[in-house]
Amino acid sequence: MPQFSRTWWGKRFIAVLEEFSDSARLGRGRSYARNGKIKEYKITNGKISAKVRGSVNPYFGVYKEPLYNTIIEIEPIAAANWSKAISYLSSRASFVSKLLMNEVPDNIEEAFEQLNLHLLPYGSKDFHTKCSCPDWSNPCKHIAGVYYLVASQLDQDPFLLFELRGLSRLKLQQELAKSPLGKVLSRAVAPDKIAPEPVESYYTKPEKVQGSESLSLKEFWQGTKRLTQTPEPTSPMTIPGIAIKKAGDFPAFWHKDSSFIEAMEDLYQQVKTKNSGML
């Protein structure tokens, strides 16, 4: 069975859904999401709205395929609590650096738990849903199908988590960039451009230098101080990979289930190990 989500946050989103939903309806919801039953889908101001194709059922007098309106809203985090969360995230370099590079830290939920908050949905009370279908159960198979579609969208845009909780990606990154740590990282990622200065020539011009008359040939070739015979050990090279990490774990061109960042880290490690004797 193909996965609807490959990231930890998408899988966690589905896990919460499966805790309070009927397994039979979830199975039909997965089928709806996989077979193109969801005709329209959009997210506006944190609210998910979709149009889902229903089933023809002559037994109930349904002879024409219906189209149901489905709405899903996730309980937003209050503005005051968002201020506390941003203040806490801004004080941690690991959170600031990853979030500004469009990467969701693995321990982001731990940060919110420190403030008695949750970024990911935590239970049925976090969801407010409705569907125009006649099914009495909530979530029905149409809502479940949209749930799974949202989980797959979280792979492509993890910052959708923040938007569904009431804070856009732009607003979050703007607030983080205002912090002292954010300013330092912003300068490193986008350094100030230096205006070119005109020069007379782009080539080095040789100049005559008066040599020292007291310099001996031995000192000229060997130097005045003896060099150390044992070179100092080199420190391990670190590769920040900012350009790689800006694309996130699953960029648009990456269609594998494994993380793109982890694959590149393995590749860099292999290259570094292979060429360690050349350093």
Residue 197 lies in a domain: no
Residue 233 lies in a domain: no
> Whole domain around residue 102: which residue ranges?
79-113+168-191
Shared domain check, 174 and 258: no
Shared domain check, 177 and 274: no
206: number of Cβ within 10 Å: 5
How would residue 1 be classed by pLDDT, with cut points 50, 70 and 90?
Answer: very low
Residue 246 lies in a domain: yes
Shared domain check, 269 and 142: no
Q: What is the mean pLDDT of residues 242-270?
A: 78
Shared domain check, 34 and 12: yes
Shared domain check, 135 and 60: yes
What's the CA gap between 129 and 52, in Å, rounded? 14
DSSP class per residue in the chain:
---S--SHHHHHHHHHHHHHS-HHHHHHHHHHHHTT-EEEEEEETTEEEEEEE---BGGGTB-S--EEEEEEEEPPPPHHHHHHHHHHHHT-HHHHHHHHTT---TTHHHHHHTTT--SS--SGGGEEEEESSS--SSS-HHHHHHHHHHHHHHHH-TTHHHHHTT--HHHHHHHHHHSHHHHHHHHHHSPPPPPP---S-SSPPP---PPPTT--HHHHHH-SSPPPSSPPPPPPP----HHHHTT-SS-TT--SSS-HHHHHHHHHHHHHHHTGGG-
Q: What is the mean pLDDT of residues 50-60?
A: 80
Shared domain check, 46 and 4: yes
Residue 217 lies in a domain: no
Residue 147 lies in a domain: yes
Shared domain check, 93 and 71: no
Q: Give the chain's domain count.
A: 3
Residue 228 lies in a domain: no
What's the CA gap between 71 and 85, in Å, rounded? 27
Shared domain check, 94 and 71: no
Q: What is the mean pLDDT of residues 185-204?
A: 74
Average pLDDT, the chain: 80
Shared domain check, 268 and 133: no
pLDDT in the model for residue 228? 61
Shared domain check, 180 and 248: no
> pLDDT tens-digit profile of 132-172?
988 887 788 888 888 888 888 887 788 888 988 889 888 99
pTM: 0.60
Shared domain check, 39 and 5: yes
Q: What is the mean pLDDT of residues 195-212?
A: 80
Residue 234 lies in a domain: no
Shared domain check, 2 and 31: yes
Residue 231 lies in a domain: no
